[in-house]
Each structure stands twice: as structure tokens, then as C-alpha cells.
A = this chain, B = another copy of it.
């Protein structure tokens, strides 16, 4: 599949629905997806991708390469927020830098799923371990972000009353047991344990209607990105630049590491996408409580209205193309 073919992919569903949502909001349409529906479709997508990943893993087995991938993924989820934090500190205060760094250390499931969709249309497969990697990369950066915030914003903490201070235990629970991760990991496990019959049985749900549900979700993402876009102007050029350059840098690192680990094209692409994407669901929800003096009006729009669309529009084709050149 050459680049023109790839670009063509962006005219086929699901991706263009993102632009329908985005343009609708920019044109001041009243289009709105009910909030419980967003939640439902997001859980559905996690369930489907988790289950399919588990099934893949069941087929491939847990090789030493799988272990390496998972290990490197966790390491990167711990390292990315650290250097992101120091870059961000040049312009942001500790709280906001920590929150945004955590966001970039974590992953965006929808970016991952959209990427998997591109692979599928190109007839390239990827391993179930990438879904496991995604699950494992969601939370560590939350812990790192909070630790950096607590260490480096010492004075702030004093103002937080003793019993309001979130204990480490509570923090870990918040980070590792939020609903999204539980559904993703649970479905992965169930996929892993399912016999062939279980897979066939779930196919119309997890496979058949998947693209349609993803289209619907991307429509919704477009709406939300459109609503958050005005916040970008307040955020200023530094953050816009960060939201675009950071995924490129992380993707570069991802491509390098994939080569070192000897991953095939599919896995390389998915690993790169994990590094390049930023979380706008699990991380912001945790940061509201764990880093209360960060401003979600800053850190969410960067991940949601800059990095996410950038990845969808330009990043994914670019990473795909680079990896194809490497693997050709």
C-alpha cells in the first residue's frame, strides 16, 4: 500500500466522521452526542479492542518478545512524563507541567484503535501484546506525574489539609483501577481464556459493528475537540507547539525502539502510536484530584484538541509511511 492509498483511507470511515463533528461545532451547529452514549461507546471500544487483543495473544502465545515489549512499554510510560515535565517547566508551573506530562506518558485508546483500523485496511496484523502494552501504559505516568508534583511543589502541598491529601494507596487505586482500565484488562483476559467458540460468538459485536461504533465515537471526538479548541488560543503557542512536536519526538523514539526490539511492521506501528499519543480520559480524571491546582482547561485541550487530531490527520500516515520505508 503506497501513500496515496493510505491517504485514500482517510476518506473512508471512520476517520472523516471526526471532521464532520469538528466542522459542525466550528460552524456553531448544536450537534451534541448525549454523555451517557459517549461513555457507552467508549466502554464498548475498550471491551472490543481488549477482547480482540486477548484472542490474538491466545493464538500467538506469550513469547519472550512479548515480555520485552511489555517491559519496554512500562519503562517508556515512566520515562516519557519525566522529560516531558522538564520541557514543560520552561513555561508552565509545576502543577500544570506535571499534569500535562502525565497525559503524554499515558496513551489514547482511540488513537490506538484508529491506528489498528489503518493496519486492518492495509491487511497488516499486529499482536495482542500491543493491547496489553496499551493497558499497562495507561497508569504509570499518573503516579510519576503526582510524585513529581509532590516533590517539586512542596509549598503547595502544605495548603492541602492533612486528610485531603490523597494517600499513595488511594492514588494507586485511582490510577490502576479506573473503569476504562478494568474493562480493557478484563476483556483482554477473557479473550485470552476464550476458546475458538467464544471468539466466533463475539465477532458480530466486537468485530462487525466495530467500525460503525468507532465512526460514531470519532464524530463525538470531533464535537468535543471543536468545543475545546477555543481553549487553545488561551493556552498559547508554546503549548500548541508542544502538542505537535511531542508526539513527533515520541514517535521517533518509538520507531527507534521498535527497530532495536526487532518488531515487525504492525507491532512497530502500534508501539509508535502508543508513545505518540496522549491521554485525555484516564489522566485528566485522576489529575483533578491528585493535582488539584493544575488547570484542566489547559492540559485537556492540548491532548484532545491538538495532539489527538494531529495524530489522526498527519501523525498516523507519517509514522506508517516511515515504518513502511524501513520495513520495505
Contact: B201 with A13, CB < 8 Å?
Answer: yes
Contact: A204 with B201, CB < 8 Å?
Answer: no
Contact: B35 with A190, CB < 8 Å?
Answer: no
> In the complex where A173-B28, A208-B205, A211-B201 touch, is A183 in contact with B20 (Cβ < 8 A)?
yes
Q: Which of B29, B121, B186 contacts A179 (CB 8 A)?
A: B29
Contact: B13 with A190, CB < 8 Å?
Answer: yes
Answer whether residue A206 sits at the interface, using C-beta atoms and an 8 A cutoff: yes
Q: Among residues 161 to 206 in chain A, which have CB atoms less than 8 Å away from a CB atom of chain B?
A: 173, 177-179, 182-183, 186-187, 189-190, 193-195, 197-198, 201-202, 204-206
Give this chain's copy count: 3
Chain B nearest CB, measured from A184 CB (Å): 10
> In the complex where A186-B17, A205-B209, A205-B211 touch, is A216 in contact with B12 (Cβ < 8 A)?
no
Answer whether residue A51 sits at the interface, using C-beta atoms and an 8 A cutoff: yes
Answer whether residue A32 sits at the interface, using C-beta atoms and an 8 A cutoff: yes
Answer whether residue A249 sits at the interface, using C-beta atoms and an 8 A cutoff: no
Docked CA distance A208–B203 (Å):
8
Chain B nearest CB, measured from A37 CB (Å): 4
Contact: B183 with A219, CB < 8 Å?
Answer: yes
Interface size class of A (residues with CB under 8 A): 35 or more
Contact: A213 with B209, CB < 8 Å?
Answer: no
Contact: A34 with B28, CB < 8 Å?
Answer: no
Contact: B212 with A206, CB < 8 Å?
Answer: yes
Contact: A16 with B190, CB < 8 Å?
Answer: yes
Contact: A31 with B183, CB < 8 Å?
Answer: yes
Q: Which of B30, B182, B193, B211 contacts A16 (CB 8 A)?
A: B193
Q: Which residue of B lies closest to A24 (CB)?
A: B182
Contact: B179 with A31, CB < 8 Å?
Answer: yes
Answer whether residue A33 sits at the interface, using C-beta atoms and an 8 A cutoff: yes
Contact: A195 with B12, CB < 8 Å?
Answer: yes
Contact: B12 with A197, CB < 8 Å?
Answer: yes
Q: Which of B37, B40, B177, B194 contacts A30 (CB 8 A)?
A: B177
> In the complex where A13-B202, A197-B12 touch, is A215 in contact with B39 (Cβ < 8 A)?
no
Answer whether residue A11 sits at the interface, using C-beta atoms and an 8 A cutoff: yes
Contact: A186 with B20, CB < 8 Å?
Answer: yes
> In the complex where A179-B24, A198-B12 touch, is A208 in contact with B216 (Cβ < 8 A)?
no
Q: Among residues 49 to 78 in chain A, which have CB atoms less than 8 Å away from a CB atom of chain B?
A: 51
